[in-house]
Amino acid sequence: DSGVTQTPKHLITATGQRVTLRCSPRSGDLSVYWYQQSLDQGLQFLIQYYNGEERAKGNILERFSAQQFPDLHSELNLSSLELGDSALYFCASSVSSSTNEKLFFGSGTQLSVL
C-alpha cells in the first residue's frame, strides 16, 4: 500500500459528460501529480501541484482541469468527455516539489467513456 488513495476505482460514463477524480496524497506529502495511461500511449504526465499551487503542466487538454485543496487532496476534472479519454488515471505524491523525489502512486481510476 503506497498510502495514496484514489477514488473511485472505476468510473463508467457517456460521451459529453463530466467527471471528477479524487486523490488523497500520503500523509506529509505536499506534491501531487496526475498521469494518464492509455493502452497505446504509456504514462502521460498531465499536471503537478505543490502545496496548492500549480507547478508543472504536461499534455493536459483544455477540457481537463485540476486543483489541490488546502487539505492537500487533489481533484482532476474531466469534461466534455470523448471516447478517447478512456484510460487509467493515476495520482502520485511526493514530499517536495523536487523532481528527484520518490513518487508514490495510487492504484488508479479506470475511466471508461461509452
Partner 1 sequence: LAKTTQPISMDSYEGQEVNITCSHNNIATNDYITWYQQFPSQGPRFIIQGYKTKVTNEVASLFIPADRKSSTLSLPRVSLSDTAVYYCLVGVDWTSGSARQLTFGSGTQLTVLP
Contact residues: partner 1, CB under 8 A: 2, 4, 33, 35, 42-43, 45, 48, 55-56, 58, 88, 90, 92, 96-108, 110
Q: How far is the CB of 17 from partner 1 (least distance, A)?
A: 23
Q: How far is the CB of 97 from partner 1 (least distance, A)?
A: 5
User: Nearer to partner 1 by C-beta: 65 or 107?
Assistant: 107
User: Nearer to partner 1 by C-beta: 65 or 79?
Assistant: 65
Q: How far is the CB of 87 from partner 1 (least distance, A)?
A: 12
Neighbours of 42 (CB within 10 A): 9
Query: What is the residue-wise DSSP string for 16-75?
Result: T--EEEEEEPPTT--EEEEEEEETTTEEEEEEEEETTEEEEE-S--TTEEEEE-TTS-EE
User: Nearer to partner 1 by C-beta: 58 or 84?
Assistant: 58
β-partners of residue 23 are: 6, 74
Neighbours of 81 (CB within 10 A): 20
Q: How far is the CB of 16 from partner 1 (least distance, A)?
A: 26
